[in-house]
Amino acid sequence: MSAVEIRDTSSKGRGMFAVVPIKAGTVLFEESPLVSCQFSWNRAYGYLACEYCLRPLETAATNVKRLTNDFTINLPYPEYCSVQSQYSKHTKCPDCMEIFCSVECLQNALHLYHRVLCLGINRTDESHPINVLVEFWKNIHFPPETSSIMLLLKIIAMYKQHENGSELRAIFDGFVSQAVNKDLMIFHKMLGERYSQQIDQLYNLICIAFDPSSDERLQWLSLSEFRSLLALVGTNGQGIGTSSFADWVRKVTNLEMNEIQRESLTTMIDTLYDKLDEVVGSFLNNEGSALYVRQSKINHSCSPNAECRFPHSNNVLSLTTIRDIDAGQEICISYLDECALERSRHSRQKMLSENYLFYCQCDKCEIQIEDPDETSEDEDSCDDEENIDD
């Protein structure tokens, strides 16, 4: 029997609840995404990842050398780099030379969407409609990224390749809460108000690339449905971060060694992370976004009792409890990052309403309901820094 179940709530639509008492540190389930992709700018910056599962394709040593721009670095214990041992399994699409971590991932991509999206010899042709779309997106959606046009393109390609369009449509419709007005969702911060007028331009480029009017499998792809698709990706997309260096660090820090070796290793790792912080800052990992059928049913709390992890250094999500949970209690994750959770109630509510179109009513927010509706100076300065990055 599963330890969790999905059921309706009176105020938040569907939610996930514990069927039995669950201890902290329990992996409730692992889930592969319906579709995933690497962020466009992340890819442009040279983060090598499997096109299908986002597994890093460069070794920990290559990764840290590139990110620090210091090619004199040598990492000990290279045998504990999982990429090092998997090089022989890497493969390419024979037509477009896109790289995959395994034949299995290539076959999965071909089965789902890659037959449509494979550009063949036109992969580097800047005038190809797909490449035009990606460049247009990059020019209106600068880092830090929250989604990618490729996620939408893969979904559209899935419709073109899927034998049963209505079955696929039912799956994607399941991501949208019936309590949310679709007309409002197009104002999602994924594009922001300053870009809202460019949705029409994106749609026109989609039509050039796929010509939905001449394909019965894409007859549904009107401008309004494209807007809803944008909103679906924006409100349900789960961020993914993988790193061959971080994976290597996890493994070597668990090795048995004497005190002198431990101290030397720790000092080296700390020094490398300092260098990484100086050069790339928060842009350390290979990053992307994905849609998960089961994970998408989990509601937000500013005091979560579970979190999403990626223990296999790919797009397989692991939902893990971080506190003990009683039978009947709702399982919640945070849609906000750790820094945002420490902000005032007013700031959290603002971010949630702008990004996810709801106001949080979790225990933490209810306790702080009498707090003043204002943003602290520290948060304002943090926001200014984020805007500079944008």
Listing DSSP states for 222-237 in one string gives -HHHHHHHHHHHHHHP
Q: Tell me, what's the pLDDT at 330?
A: 93
Closest CA to 150 of 168, 130, 170, 165: 130
Closest CA to 251 of 79, 87, 48: 79
CB 172 within 8 A of CB 155: yes
CB 23 within 8 A of CB 321: yes
Q: Tell me, what's the pLDDT at 142?
A: 83
Q: Which CATH class is domain 1-33+306-330?
A: mainly beta
Q: Tell me, what's the pLDDT at 379?
A: 53
CB 34 within 8 A of CB 291: yes
Closest CA to 297 of 331, 325, 324: 331
Spans of all domains in the chain: 1-33+306-330, 35-239
Q: Tell me, what's the pLDDT at 106?
A: 98
Q: Tell me, what's the pLDDT at 144?
A: 77
Residue 377 bridge partners (DSSP): none
Angle (deg, nearest 10), helices 259-279 and 60-68:
50
Angle (deg, nearest 10), helices 259-279 and 244-252:
160
Q: What's the count of helices (H) and strands (E) in the chain, helices before strands?
A: 17, 12
Q: Tell me, what's the pLDDT at 103?
A: 97
Closest CA to 205 of 271, 244, 153, 168: 153
Residue 163 identity: E
Chain centroid, CA 373 distance in Å = 31
Q: Tell me, what's the pLDDT at 180?
A: 44
Three-state SS sequence of 315-338 = CCEEEEECCCECCCCEEEECCCCH
CB 310 within 8 A of CB 71: no
Exposed, middle or buried, 130 (CB in 10 Å: 0-12/13-18/19+)? buried
Q: Which two tokens stand for residue 8?
A: 């309706």
CA distance 306 to 321: 4
Q: Tell me, what's the pLDDT at 183?
A: 44
The contacts of residue 260 (CB under 8 Å, 6+ apart) are none
- Report helix, strand or coil for 10: coil
Q: Which two tokens stand for residue 389?
A: 């990055």
With tokens 């060694």, the residue in question is 257
Chain centroid, CA 232 distance in Å = 14
Per-residue pLDDT of the chain (390 residues; tens, 9 = 90+): 689 999 887 777 789 999 999 999 999 999 999 999 999 999 998 899 999 999 999 999 999 999 999 999 999 999 999 898 888 899 999 999 999 999 999 999 999 999 999 999 999 999 999 999 999 999 988 887 878 899 999 999 999 999 888 899 889 888 865 344 444 444 445 555 556 678 889 999 999 999 999 999 999 999 988 988 888 888 788 999 999 999 999 999 999 999 999 999 999 999 999 999 999 887 788 899 999 999 999 988 899 999 999 999 999 999 999 999 999 999 999 888 788 888 888 888 888 877 676 788 888 888 888 887 766 554 554 554 444 333
